[in-house]
Structure 1
Amino acid sequence: MTPRVLAALAVADFRERVRRPSYAVVLLAAVGLGYLAAPAAGAHWTIVNAGDHRGVYNSAYVGAVTALAGALWLSAAGFYVVRTAIARDERTGVGQLLAATPLRTPAYLVGKFLSNLLVLGSMAAALAGTALVMQLARGESRALHPVDLVLPFLLFTLPVLALTATAAVLVETIPVLRTGFGNVVWFFVALTGMVAGQSAGAPLGGLGVHVFAASLRDEFAAHGVGVTEVAIGLMYADDPPRAVGFASVDFTAAFAGQRLVAVLLAVAVAAVPALWFGRFDPARSAAPAAPVAPTVTATAPLVSYQMMSKAERRRGRGLLTGETRILAGGISRWWWLGVAALVVAGAAAPTRASGPLLIAAWIWPVLVWSRLGTQAAEAGVEGLLGAYPSPVRRALAQWLAGVALTALVGAGAGVRLATAGELAGWLAGVAFIPALALALGVVSRTHRLFQAVYPPLWYAVLNDVRGLDYMGALPGGPPPVAVAGAAALLVTAALATVAARHARR
């Protein structure tokens, strides 16, 4: 296949994908990230922790800081936007058509890689444009140097996004990762990369933080300012950092070579799944891409409703029973064995351990929670279920089914908290988690959004960020009434969205 044909396939796929709402959301988030990278002079937050100082907001500093922030966060969030390219081809039948053409599997996979990279690269381009605007808006230096502004995006951001594009191809072609489990795994992989990639010894230059840090130390030393440590991440500073002159990042030929190797390696690895990926060819038994819906068949919602008797349908509990069957459908006995172990451990442990055990318990059902509000759309029966006379009641029953599941998984720790008189926070968490899942599911109609949002929120609680404690697991967290109020707002938003969609039918 000629490069021209390969490029045409990638561009066509890219054009289709940028029309989706998820792309617009991440693109707007990239613009917000550019704003955070260059905060106002009196702001207390910072993207670069270099003690009490920062670089003056010129093209070199704003470009470098924004590019590093993009490498750090666009790779984590952008993955969830690009990871369904192969599954969509199977679902729409395009993959089966391509299987009948002379297109070879390695070329198909590289085309998907290029499409992924175009999507992620367009987000980086929006981030670079935001960096330019922020430099001018802050007004510390109005001299524009395009090379100093753009080069960090080419050497810091682009190689990391290339590896992310390859990771999306791998996740879609490795059987165990094709479901929502791959989304959760990616969060921890990206988190590890964020930490390890800032090391000077990271393979292929990591995120490039050490190169920026070395230049920052040299520049600051020339102004009599000593810097002992440089870290990238959104952090709070007790005092606003003071501006110090910064000329440019010293990019060496060796570092540029490492980044080129990273991009070439990403291209090569993207073609590796051709060894086992069947590319929708029924003559090959290698596993094709999995459909988007997580472990649910297209008729599961209908079957669950059909299982209810007429008497049950006339009673509210029949609807709740049906939604509970839908939510729990297809879950393996091993998963339930894990729930039993969490409940027993929570009930048997001392009260002081109830918080950590509750945190452990309330990550276990993340893939099940993500079904709330999404199964009808992903299973292709939303139109049929739209004839149900009260969709708002059905959505409310979905939330109640999620509440029941959440309470069950956290029951062991809940018992201990109840004996200590600290049950209010637990009850608020029981209401909040399925409310968040339902709201995100109803709005996005895909399980991926919750799978992308919830693990970072859970991880923040794990790391003792008390202001985000929605579980009641940490002392000094938000009052339970605030968490319950947030849950009520989320449920209300979900029900209003369902009612508005039903009214338009």
Structure 2
Amino acid sequence: MGMQLLRGEDLHINLAAYLLPLLFVSIPSLLLLSAFTVLFDVLPGLKGAVGNVLFFVIWIFFSVMSISNSSSLWDVFGINAIQTGMTKEAAAHFDFISANEIGGSIGYYPIEGRTPTFEWSGVDWNGHLLTSRLIWVLAAMAIILLSSQLFNRFAAAKTAFSVKLPAYDVKNKVVEREERKSYQLSPVKRDKRVRLSRLVRAEFRIMIKGMSIWWYLLVLGSMMTSLLVPLDQIKSWLPILMLWPLAIWSQMGNREFYYSTNELLLSSCPRLYKFFSVWIAGILVTLLISSGVLIHFFLEGELTYIYSWVVGIFFVPTLALTLGTMTRSRKLFEVLYMLLWYLGPVNDLPYLNFLGLPTGYSTLYIMLTFVLLVVGIMIQHVQEGNLLAGFRKNTKMNQPTKGEYHEKLEK
């Protein structure tokens, strides 16, 4: 409506022409999106990074199907309902628009001078079109019903660490005693200085620990495949390789907040040491997974490819660590990375290809890596200051006098 009034083509607002597309086009697709979101949230095994990748792939498939398919029945987003009729009318008025472009892109034609316009009466909301939109609404309702059957959030959770307490009778006497397990923690070892190498080894072990056996097999198979794929076909293989470490990258910078161990780590080592240990460990994991690619490039003598790939190895973990530190969540990185991955390495958009192999924008991503690293360090410093300020405030409340508080704080 704002565009119509600003351009001054017609000052009469037809509310029905604006509301009907919202009702028949936008709402059914949003209902389907919401239904899939709930399904992936309650379906076991699809709530983490694997589910996010699968969700993204399904949604891209629906987008391509809506744009490329001429049948309104498979038009999930209702794009063809508007675009086909509009393009037909435009092709009838302007020779430079081909009728074969129906269903394609609109708005990429360079026009000098005043932009020509034409009259378009809008979408013909016939029974066939409305029935196809109703089918997707019913599909969304079916997915929600399926999700309700899978929903078990209030069921009793099984924990690995559980001990049965003894039962008591009415006189508060033990009538049945279960044998309790004794757990012994590893002893605390004090060191005069913090060793960054030890922290890096610990972070590396935590990152690669806990994955399923299939993940390890896929990584091993990918490393072997990277050595065997011909060089002229390896560009189409590399984007697939850069999906396996997504679950590892997305936990960088936010794992201690997820498991509520932030204060424990703060008391164990300086935050800056922790930050760089996570950063180095993430780079080492990426380097390990892509080692087959680097060996292949080295054997082929492609030093430029090695340089571009190493830049990508530094960029992605830095992006993950900075976003994880800033948001204390893994979701922003996973969403942003999937968009970059699809637009850059998959579709070869030059400035968004962080791997840089076909385009050569490695210098840009070196600068972005440096900027992200500085921003992450600054955020880490601010968060550490806030935690220490909160700790000092709580400690001050428990001290009888101000002098005793400062004395203990100095100690």
TM-score normalised according to structure 1 size: 0.63
Q: CA deviation at 1:417?
A: 2.3
Q: CA deviation at 1:426?
A: 1.2
Which among 262, 269, 292 is matched to residue 136 of structure 2? 262
Shift of 1:222: 5.8
CA contact under 8 A between 1:135 and 1:142: conserved in structure 2? yes
Please name the residue that 1:230 is paired with. 102
Name which of 145, 149, 169 aligns with 2:38: 169
Q: 1:420 aligns with which of 280, 302, 320?
A: 302
Paired residues of 1:358 and 1:410 also in contact (CA < 8 A): no
Which residue identity does 2:101 align to in structure 1? E
Paired position in structure 2 for 1:457: 340
2:146 aligns with 272
Does structure 2 conserve the Cα–Cα contact (< 8 Å) formed by 1:370 and 1:437?
Answer: yes
1:458 alignment partner, SS class:
helix
The equivalent residue for 2:241 is: 361
Q: Is the 8 A contact 2:308 2:360 kept in 1?
A: no
Superposed displacement of residue 325, structure 1: 2.3
Higher-Rg member (1/2): 2
CA distance in 1, matches of 2:192, 2:231: 41
Cα deviation, residue 249, structure 1: 2.2
Deviations 1:138-176 (A, max 9, x none): 444433222212221111111001011111121122213
* Residue 216 in structure 1 maps to residue 100 in structure 2: no
Q: What is the match of residue 448 of structure 1?
A: 331
Gapped regions of structure 1 (runs ≥ 5): 1-131, 286-305
Runs of 5+ unmatched residues, structure 2: 159-185, 388-411
Which amino acid in structure 2 is aligned with residue 330 of structure 1?
G
In the alignment, the residues of structure 1 paired with residue 133 and residue 230 of structure 2 have an alpha-carbon distance, to the nearest angstrom, of 51
| Matched residues, number | 352
1:497 CA displacement: 1.1
Match of 2:368 among 486, 496, 499: 486
Q: Deviations over 1:447-499 (max 9, x none)?
A: 1222211122112212222332211332x331x22211111111211121111
User: How far apart, CA to CA, are the structure 2 residues paired with 1:410 and 1:238?
Assistant: 43
RMSD (Å) for aligned C-alpha atoms: 2.9
Does 408-417 or 211-220 show the bigger shift?
Answer: 211-220
8 Å CA contact retained: 1:437, 1:450: yes
What is the TM-score normalised by the length of structure 2?
0.77
Change (3 A) 1:266 1:400: same
Q: Which of the residues 317, 329, 342 maps onto 2:209?
A: 329
Q: Distance in 2 between matches of 1:235 and 1:184?
A: 31
Distance (Å, rounded) in 2 between the aligned partners of 1:321 and 1:163: 44
Match of 1:339 in 2: 219
Q: Is the 8 A contact 1:323 1:401 kept in 2?
A: yes
Task: Provide the residue aligned with 1:501 in structure 2.
Answer: 383
Moved over 6 A (4+): 232-235
Amino acid paired to 2:376: A
Structure scoring higher RCO (CA < 8 A, sep ≥ 6) equals: 1
Over residues 107-131 of structure 1, what are the superposed CA-to-partner deviations in whole Å (9 max), with x where a residue is unaligned? xxxxxxxxxxxxxxxxxxxxxxxxx
Cα deviations by residue, 1:252-277 (Å, 9 ceiling, x for unpaired):
23322332343243223302234343
1:320 maps to 2:190: no
Is the Cα contact below 8 Å between 1:351 and 1:420 reproduced in 2? Answer: no
Tell me how far 1:194 sits from its aligned partner: 0.1
Aligned residue runs from structure 1 range 372-411, under 5 A: 372-411=252-291
Distance 1:212 1:161 in 2: 17
Residue 147 in structure 1 maps to residue 31 in structure 2: no
> Partner letter of residue 27 of structure 2?
L
Contact kept? 2:72, 2:80, Cα under 8 Å = no
2:117 match: secondary structure: strand
Once the 2 structures are TM-superposed, how far is the Cα of residue 428 of structure 1 from its aligned partner? 0.5
Distance 1:182 1:222, change over 3 A: same
1:336, 1:369 → 2: CA distance?
A: 16
Question: How far did 1:313 drift?
Answer: 6.2
Given the superposition, is the C-alpha separation of residues 397 and 148 from structure 1 closer, same or farther in structure 2, using an over 3 Å criterion? same
Return the alpha-carbon distance in structure 2 between the equivalents of residues 451 and 258 of structure 1.
33
Bigger CA drift: 229-238 or 157-166?
Answer: 229-238
Query: For 1:287-331, what per-residue CA distance to the aligned partner results, in whole angstroms no more than 9, with x for missing partners?
Result: xxxxxxxxxxxxxxxxxxx89954496211112122222322312
Distance 1:449 1:397 in 2: 22
**Secondary structure in 1 matching 2:101:** coil
Change (3 A) 1:243 1:227: farther
